[in-house]
Amino acid sequence: MRKISLEKCQENMKLAKTIFTDDGRILLSAGIALKRSFIERLKLCNLSEVYIDDEFSTDIEINDVVDERTRNEAKLLVKSVMEEYKVTQRFDADRVKSVVNRIIDELLYTRDIMVNLTDIKSSDDYTFSHSVNVCILSLITGIKLGLNQLRLKDLGIGALMHDIGKTLIPKEILNKASKLTNEEFEQIKKHTILGHEILKTNRDISITSAHVAIAHHERYDGSGYPLGTKGDNIHQFARIVAIADVYDALSSDRVYRKKMKPHEVLEYMLTAGEVLFDRNILEHFVRSIAIYSIGTSVVLNTGERGIVVDVNRTFPTRPIVRVVIDAGGKRLASFNEIDLTKRLNVFIEDTCDI
């Protein structure tokens, strides 16, 4: 399978990954041949990309770090908790703990974790998908840092619920497509304090988990909010979630901007990491992220185009690429796979659509 933009989708292309609605129902099942009406419906759902199987990629496997059912259940849980809190001012922490424990178990079972983010996100359900991705990315980082299971559980709960304060922020501000006014941005910033209040009043949520909500926008140089806390005075869990939060936010389409490419996000974070993030945590985080994930189409400096079929953990910028289009733009009759660690004169210039 490989990922392509919805704009490049054509009729009769075979869908490789099931697409769910924001309430957990199957919208389109894997294996279906895409009709024009299906493609238009996906656009109406504000999706920008899908996974397909074709002659280029039918044998390429892309494995998520957690089971698709677990990810979907976690997304539905976040939505349910936020909606429940709006109405009742309470939520069931046991359900949160159960999902977090399952994610931890699945991550610990996967010995060699390398993240290929496979979640197809709609800008309509951004908050829910984002919360789950931040939880997964934070837990992977926590595992790399050697946290024990009790601490991983508190980290995971805090990460999954880090944006719960947004339930009390007006939707018209959260979903505003144009630039926020100063007053609106001040309201957005309050989600950290509000989230902390929500979590700390639930006696089944630990203080450390609750602290993630108030501190995940703090920055290592003290430039963050709401308290302007600096350096190691920021709790370790909040320093971890801050990195996962920024990575997933920049990797996602929003109502007010298009997402950045994964390698651009990592380049930005490594540069910004000198001042904004805990450098040690950032290095552990980056080592678990595939810069060019499997199924990504890339342009080589030779002018050829191909699909990433495997990653090289030691040299993440030099994956194995299946060349399918020559420098003249002609589709090749037979594919040629290049291990970029063995062809040092060949390198990736950019990602693309094929």
3-state secondary structure of 42: helix
Closest CA to 302 of 323, 274, 280: 323
Please name the amino acid found at residue 151: R
**What is the per-residue pLDDT for 157?**
98
- Side-chain half-sphere CA neighbours of 256 within 13 A: 11
**What is the per-residue pLDDT for 116?**
64
Look at domain 68-286 and name its CATH class.
mainly alpha
Query: Which residue numbers are catalytic?
Result: 166
Closest CA to 237 of 354, 169, 115, 139: 139
Look at domain 2-53 and name its CATH class.
alpha beta
- Asked whether the beta carbons of 224 and 231 are under 8 A apart, the reply is no
pLDDT tens digits for the chain (354 residues)?
A: 898 888 889 999 999 988 887 777 888 999 999 999 999 888 888 788 899 999 888 888 887 888 888 998 999 999 999 999 999 999 999 999 999 999 999 998 876 666 665 555 555 567 788 999 999 999 999 999 999 999 999 999 999 999 999 999 998 998 888 888 999 999 999 999 999 999 999 999 999 999 999 999 999 999 999 999 999 999 999 999 999 999 999 988 776 678 888 788 888 999 988 799 999 999 999 888 888 888 999 999 999 999 999 988 888 889 999 999 999 999 998 888 999 999 999 999 998 888
**What is the per-residue pLDDT for 262?**
79
**What is the per-residue pLDDT for 118?**
54
Domain spans of the chain?
2-53, 68-286, 297-351
Q: d(Cα 10, Cα 98) in Å, to the nearest integer?
A: 41
Residue indicated by tokens 């496997």: 61
**What is the per-residue pLDDT for 121?**
54
- Asked whether the beta carbons of 235 and 207 are under 8 A apart, the reply is no
Q: Report the predicted TM-score, pTM, of the whole model to 2 decimal places.
A: 0.90
